[in-house]
């Protein structure tokens, strides 16, 4: 009898799938305690490598037109749609939800990616302004990406929440590092395979698995991280991130949503895009 190859879930850094440099791994189990797979236990060095990859990718991604970023995020949704059945099976096996619930989450994840793809070339117009000034100048305010953003995913909904945070962060031109759920990392680690086969340049999205509580202090104190999106739902992790964010004036935003909120309008709020952008103001003299 043939023995199936057991999948080892790796990290996703710079468009590649390295194993953790520490050699450590964790075991993913089903709700019934079944050993599903091994996955990498990311270290401080892995996080630093992810920051380097994200920083390297930032100038190119920022320079892309909003329309092109929109098309790329839409393409991620297309690729996920093509693997919907496999993701639904993995979600049900990993998180213990029903097959129907798993299918609904995958389909809503696709819709959520399309939703944010649609905002990519619109939010700049809506959130920009022409400001009245008491001098002969035009004064414009407009949103620009802040740089490297670290997103901390909640446990549930595993796939939907992670994809929502990634999309909301990258459509403005940011690059991101997603730290997966401790309990249900497998669907998100498989999502990296979708990213790798879409049009997203390497380093724009990086995915690390492991212990969020171990990685949080490194996230909080790293001087080349510009913003943090915290969806962990863990008060101790939130306190660690907030305490360290002052070290280089990182922007901190909390996705403090209940599990059911991720399925509705609160997670689709376009103001979430503003969590990880900076408002820049330009002055231009009026013509004579």
- Domain with 137 in it: what CATH number? 3.40.605.10
**Quick check: 163 pLDDT over 60?**
yes
For residue 3, is it within any domain? no
Q: How confident is residue 13, by pLDDT bands cut at 50, 70 and 90?
A: very high
pLDDT score for 260: 94
Provide the domain count of the chain.
Answer: 1
Q: What is the mean pLDDT of the chain?
A: 93
**Quick check: 288 pLDDT over 70?**
no
Peptide bond into 3 cis (omega under 30): no
Q: pTM of whole model > 0.75?
A: yes
For residue 258, is it within any domain? yes
Q: What is the pLDDT of residues 36-62, one digit of tens each?
A: 999 999 999 999 999 999 999 999 999
What is the span of the domain harbouring residue 33? 8-285
For residue 266, is it within any domain? yes
For residue 1, is it within any domain? no
CA atoms of 161 and 231, how far apart (whole Å): 8
**Quick check: 70 pLDDT over 90?**
yes
For residue 180, is it within any domain? yes
pLDDT score for 138: 85
pLDDT score for 49: 98
Q: What is the pLDDT of residues 230-240, one digit of tens each?
A: 999 999 999 99
For residue 210, is it within any domain? yes
Q: Which of 81-90, 101-110, 237-246 has the lowest mean pLDDT?
A: 237-246
For residue 2, is it within any domain? no
Please provide the DSSP assignment of the chain as one string: -PPPPPPEE--BBTTB-PPPTT--EEEEE-TT--EEEEEE---HHHHHHHHHHHHHHHHHHHHS-HHHHHHHHHHHHHHHHHTHHHHHHHHHHHH---HHHHHHHHHHHHHHHHHHHHHTTTHHHHS-EEE--SSSEEEEEEEEE-SEEEEE--SSSHHHHHHHHHHHHHTTT-EEEEEPPSSS-HHHHHHHHHHHTTTPPTTSEEEE-S-HHHHHHHHHH-TT--EEEE----HHHHHHHHHHHTTTT-EEEE----GGGGGSGGGG-GGGGGGGEEEEEEEEEPP-
For residue 206, is it within any domain? yes
């Amino acid at each position: 009898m043939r023995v199936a190859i057991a999948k080892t879930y790796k990290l996703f850094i710079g468009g590649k799938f390295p194993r953790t440099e520490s050699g450590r791994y964790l075991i993913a189990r089903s709700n019934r305690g079944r050993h599903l797979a091994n996955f990498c236990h990311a270290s401080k060095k892995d996080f630093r490598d992810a920051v380097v990859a994200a920083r390297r990718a930032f100038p190119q991604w920022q320079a892309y037109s909003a329309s092109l970023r929109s098309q790329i995020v839409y393409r991620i949704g297309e690729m996920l749609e093509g693997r919907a059945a496999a993701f639904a099976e993995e979600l049900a096996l990993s998180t213990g939800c029903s097959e129907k619930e798993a299918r609904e989450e995958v389909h809503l994840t696709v819709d959520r990616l399309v939703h944010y793809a649609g905002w990519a070339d619109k939010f700049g117009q809506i959130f920009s302004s022409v400001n009245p000034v008491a001098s002969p100048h035009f004064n414009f305010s407009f949103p620009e990406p802040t740089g490297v953003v670290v997103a901390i995913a909640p446990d549930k909904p595993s796939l939907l929440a992670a994809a929502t945070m990634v999309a909301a962060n990258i459509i403005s031109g940011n690059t991101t590092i997603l730290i997966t759920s401790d309990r249900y990392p497998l669907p998100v680690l498989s999502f990296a395979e979708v990213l790798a086969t879409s049009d997203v340049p390497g380093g724009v999205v990086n995915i690390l698995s492991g212990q969020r509580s171990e990685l949080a202090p490194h996230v909080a104190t790293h001087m080349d991280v510009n913003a943090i999106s915290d969806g962990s739902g863990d008060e101790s992790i939130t306190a660690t991130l907030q305490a360290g964010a002052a070290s280089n004036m990182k922007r901190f935003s909390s996705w403090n949503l209940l599990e059911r909120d991720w399925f509705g309008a609160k997670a689709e709020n376009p103001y979430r895009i503003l969590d990880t952008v900076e408002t820049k103001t330009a002055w231009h003299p009026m013509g004579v």
